[in-house]
Amino acid sequence: NAGVTQTPKFQVLKTGQSMTLQCAQDMNHNSMYWYRQDPGMGLRLIYYSASEGTTDKGEVPNGYNVSRLNKREFSLRLESAAPSQTSVYFCASSLQTGDLYEQYFGPGTRLTVT
């Protein structure tokens, strides 16, 4: 199993450019998540998808859109990148056992917006 994969690993964008971050999991998990990580701020949830066909906003959704393409894939789109979106982005999926959710993370995408 590859687990959770993300592409690209690194990206530099100019302000106003758009891009899509790709995420896929091969563990048959229902729930998937997009986080951003900034120094001293921990991980903040951007969007999540509790199951195929549903998406919901997290703590910091402004400037982002998502698509749950199928059970495996969950993409994050920046329509018009801004310097404030410079961050490390993590995708995760979770295995549910009752109320226990074990989240599995991808390796991250390091995005710089100039």
Residues 6+ apart with CB under 8 A from 109: 6, 7, 8, 9, 10, 11, 21, 88, 89, 90
Please identify which residue in 99, 111, 112, 113 interacts with other proteins, judged by CB under 8 A: 99
Cβ closest to other proteins, residue 51 vs residue 114: 51
Please identify which residue in 25, 85, 87, 94 interacts with other proteins, judged by CB under 8 A: 94
Sketch the per residue contact string, 26 through 65, with other proteins: x for CB under 8 A, - otherwise. Answer: -----x-x------xxxxxx--xxxx----x-x-------
According to DSSP, the β-strands at 43-49 and 31-37 are antiparallel
d(CA 112, CA 15): 10
User: How many residues bind to other proteins according to rule CB under 8 A?
Assistant: 29
Smallest separation (angstroms) from other proteins to the CB of 8:
15
Tokens found for residue 56: 């919901």
Assess 92 for contact with other proteins (CB under 8 A). Answer: yes
Binding site for other proteins (CB under 8 A): 4, 31, 33, 40-45, 48-51, 56, 58, 90, 92, 94, 96, 99-108
